């Protein structure tokens, strides 16, 4: 049997006490025959398990035998799942392993571990902003998500004065090193940039908690889609060297998509923003390295910017 399944099986038996082959099959996502073979293999390998026949029977660890892997304290379980949880968003095998481990944990640890595992989502594509400092507030907010308590802070939206908010923290998102808090408020779900929060206080007041069926990854996809709709009103098709696409994606975020090949190492890229001037301001820095094929309004903005620069700096 696979080593990872053996570990999951031992943890499961320790947390349940008595298990049947059907229960093992359901929890570890294998067939009943495979589950039965795994249980027999454990016994043959010297692990102290034994079958208990008759109605209400199953397999049990002899004398409540324990394994070091299950000696996790509540704090250690939370720390483990906070560390590994974000990787589950991009690695299906990690997500499957976490699911098995959560099921195997004692009931008293399980709720906190599940909250910790889904407290953070990593989104590697930026929105054209670079913020390379992880604030200590992130750890404070993570703890609030796991503890399921309300958070109070002052928040300054772009160009507005600071307003005090009290929210139910549902999860954190690391979007290209810019952190966001997804939270419940009296007005429904809201998203807050962590670097705009001031005076963050984790209260002792219990929060209502996440809505039924809440999935942070799914919710964040909805947030991104909404923001990208607002950002992508105008688009242009640009011809550039394929090696430059990575930099264009850093500048335009998700509003940058390769749509075809030209040849000679060049590709066609569609970029978008909320206004033609915003696209032109970025592309102007590329000079002759890029060529706008589609979008008369963006070409017009580039020509205007070029004329202004020539008028000021020529000679």
pLDDT, tens only, 143-175: 888 788 999 999 987 667 889 999 999 988 887
Domain coverage including residue 274: 232-313
Predicted local confidence at residue 87, as pLDDT: 47
Closest alpha carbon to 50 in 41, 38, 61: 61
Q: What DSSP line would sit under 175-237, residue for residue?
A: ETTEEEEEEEETTEEEEEEGGGEEEEEEEEEEP--PPTT--HHHHHHHHHHHHHHHH-SEEEE
Overall number of domains in the chain? 4
**Top-confidence residue, 19 or 113:** 19
pLDDT score of 97 more than 70: no
Residue 222 lies in a domain: no
Q: Which two tokens mark 128? A: 């054209």
Predicted local confidence at residue 50, as pLDDT: 73
pLDDT score of 115 more than 90: no
Predicted local confidence at residue 270, as pLDDT: 93
3-state class (DSSP) for residue 258? strand
pLDDT score of 206 more than 60: yes
Residue 32 lies in a domain: yes
Average pLDDT over residues 110-135: 55
Residue 179 lies in a domain: yes
Percentage with pLDDT > 70 across the chain:
70
Domain check: are 274 and 239 in the same one?
yes
Predicted local confidence at residue 275, as pLDDT: 86
Q: Quote the DSSP letter at residue 63.
A: G
Residue 219 lies in a domain: no
Residue 220 lies in a domain: no
User: pTM (2 decimals)?
Assistant: 0.48
Closest alpha carbon to 250 in 124, 123, 126: 126
Mean per-residue pLDDT of the chain: 78
Of the residues 88, 117, 146, which one is the last residue of a structural domain?
Answer: 117
How many angstroms separate the CA atoms of 31 and 61, rounded? 21
């Amino acid at each position: 049997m696979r080593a990872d399944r053996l570990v999951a099986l031992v943890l499961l038996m320790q947390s349940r006490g008595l298990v049947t082959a059907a229960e093992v099959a359901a929890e570890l996502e294998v067939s009943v025959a495979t589950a039965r073979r795994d249980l027999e293999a454990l016994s043959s390998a010297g692990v102290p398990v034994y079958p208990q026949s008759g109605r209400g029977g199953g397999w049990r660890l002899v004398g409540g035998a324990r394994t070091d892997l299950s000696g996790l304290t509540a704090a250690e379980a939370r720390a483990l799942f906070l560390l590994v949880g974000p990787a589950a968003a991009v690695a299906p095998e990690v997500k499957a392993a976490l699911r098995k481990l959560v099921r195997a944990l004692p009931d008293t640890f399980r709720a906190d571990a599940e909250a910790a595992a889904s407290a953070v989502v990593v989104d590697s594509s930026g929105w054209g902003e670079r913020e390379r400092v992880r604030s200590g507030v992130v750890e404070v907010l993570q703890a609030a998500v796991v503890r399921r308590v309300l958070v109070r802070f002052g928040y300054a939206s772009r160009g507005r004065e600071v307003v005090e908010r009290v929210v139910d923290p549902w999860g954190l998102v690391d979007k290209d090193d810019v952190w966001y808090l997804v939270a419940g408020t009296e007005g429904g779900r809201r998203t807050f940039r962590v670097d705009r929060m001031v005076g963050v206080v984790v209260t002792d007041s219990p929060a209502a908690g996440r809505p039924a069926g809440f999935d942070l990854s799914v919710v964040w996809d909805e947030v991104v889609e909404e923001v990208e709709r607002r950002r992508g009103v105008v688009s242009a098709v640009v011809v550039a060297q394929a090696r430059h696409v990575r930099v264009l994606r850093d500048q335009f975020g998700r509003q940058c998509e390769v749509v075809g090949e030209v040849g000679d190492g060049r590709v066609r890229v569609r970029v978008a923003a909320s206004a033609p001037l915003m696209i032109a301001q970025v592309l102007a820095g590329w000079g002759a390295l890029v060529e706008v094929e589609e979008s008369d309004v963006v070409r017009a903005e580039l020509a205007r910017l070029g004329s202004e620069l020539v008028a000021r700096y020529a000679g």
